[in-house]
């Protein structure tokens, strides 16, 4: 069966997940995390991709990326995989695949879901009961988006920049977002769009993407009517 073609639209954010093969660890030491982040930074720069959020979990990674060139995300991920797997194989004298198939991705309607998706990504360690607060986890973009950090990987999205006139204001408002409850329905929608590599957004946004790409953007469920999106506030924090 031929592979499902990816959505590749310059300027439209993508939520990406890549899992370790058989859910096995992708990172075994602090050096591994640092190597991956360095490889991510260089690969993103080379292929004109802007990283807005990330989290490196033990056996998978989440990224929120806006490509600024055609097929930028695919090229970035290919280069990143090549660099990091080569490092891992040399370091641990290993061979074989690291990742569970190819990465999965979904297009994100930034007007409604960008900040929600950032929170979802950075809350992964909390949902996994690894930490109580996202700021307690070292390997995510929360450090830069919400706190003072020397992390130079993040390229802030214009939506994030509207949170305040200064870095301190933006970080304060961003921290406040985590005080609100991320609705379970929203979490389900994020996971559904990602798992099936579709589009997370309003009906208008999905219609627009379908017209541009001539591709299905919604998960079809036989026998059930399509649930239309409601106001943006509901989708941001429930």
Q: Which CATH number goes with the domain that contains 72?
A: 3.30.70.1290
Closest by alpha carbon to 109, among 66, 77, 72? 66
Q: What pLDDT score was predicted for residue 163?
A: 97
pLDDT in tens, 33-79: 999 999 999 999 999 999 999 999 999 999 999 999 999 999 999 99
Which residues constitute the domain of residue 221?
Answer: 14-237
In a domain, 51, yes or no: yes
How many whole angstroms separate alpha carbon 51 and alpha carbon 62?
11
Q: What pLDDT score was predicted for residue 234?
A: 30
In a domain, 7, yes or no: no
In a domain, 84, yes or no: yes
Residue 233 has pLDDT above 50, yes or no: no
Confidence of residue 222 (pLDDT cuts 50, 70, 90): low
Confidence of residue 25 (pLDDT cuts 50, 70, 90): very high
In a domain, 4, yes or no: no
Residue 82 has pLDDT above 80, yes or no: yes
Confidence of residue 221 (pLDDT cuts 50, 70, 90): low
In a domain, 2, yes or no: no
In a domain, 50, yes or no: yes
pLDDT in tens, 122-167: 999 999 999 999 999 999 999 999 987 676 899 999 999 999 999 9
Q: What pLDDT score was predicted for residue 173?
A: 97
Q: What pLDDT score was predicted for residue 97?
A: 86
Confidence of residue 95 (pLDDT cuts 50, 70, 90): confident
Q: What pLDDT score was predicted for residue 81?
A: 95
In a domain, 3, yes or no: no
Domain count of the fold of the chain: 1
In a domain, 65, yes or no: yes
Q: What pLDDT score was predicted for residue 227?
A: 40
Average per-residue pLDDT for the chain: 89
Q: What pLDDT score was predicted for residue 152?
A: 82
């Amino acid at each position: 069966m031929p592979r499902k073609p990816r959505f590749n639209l310059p300027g439209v954010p993508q939520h990406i997940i890549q899992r370790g093969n058989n859910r096995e660890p992708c990172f075994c030491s602090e050096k591994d995390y640092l190597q991956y982040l360095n490889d991510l930074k260089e690969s993103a720069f080379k292929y004109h991709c802007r990283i807005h959020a990330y989290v490196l979990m033990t056996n998978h990674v989440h990224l929120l990326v806006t490509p600024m060139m055609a097929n930028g995300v695919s090229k970035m991920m290919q280069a990143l995989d090549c660099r990091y797997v080569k490092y891992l194989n040399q370091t641990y004298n290993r061979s074989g695949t690291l990742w569970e198939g190819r990465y999965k991705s979904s297009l994100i309607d930034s007007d409604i879901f960008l900040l929600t998706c950032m929170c979802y990504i950075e809350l992964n360690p909390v949902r996994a009961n690894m930490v109580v607060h996202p700021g307690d986890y070292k390997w995510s973009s929360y450090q830069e988006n919400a706190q003072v950090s020397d992390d130079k990987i993040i390229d802030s999205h214009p939506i994030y920049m509207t949170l305040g006139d200064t870095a301190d204001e933006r970080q304060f408002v961003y921290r406040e977002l985590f005080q609100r409850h991320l609705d379970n329905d929203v979490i389900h929608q994020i996971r559904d769009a990602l798992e099936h590599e579709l589009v997370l957004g309003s009906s208008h946004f999905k219609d627009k993407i379908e017209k541009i790409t001539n591709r299905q953007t919604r998960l079809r469920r036989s026998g059930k009517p399509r649930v239309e999106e409601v106001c943006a506030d509901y989708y941001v924090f429930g």
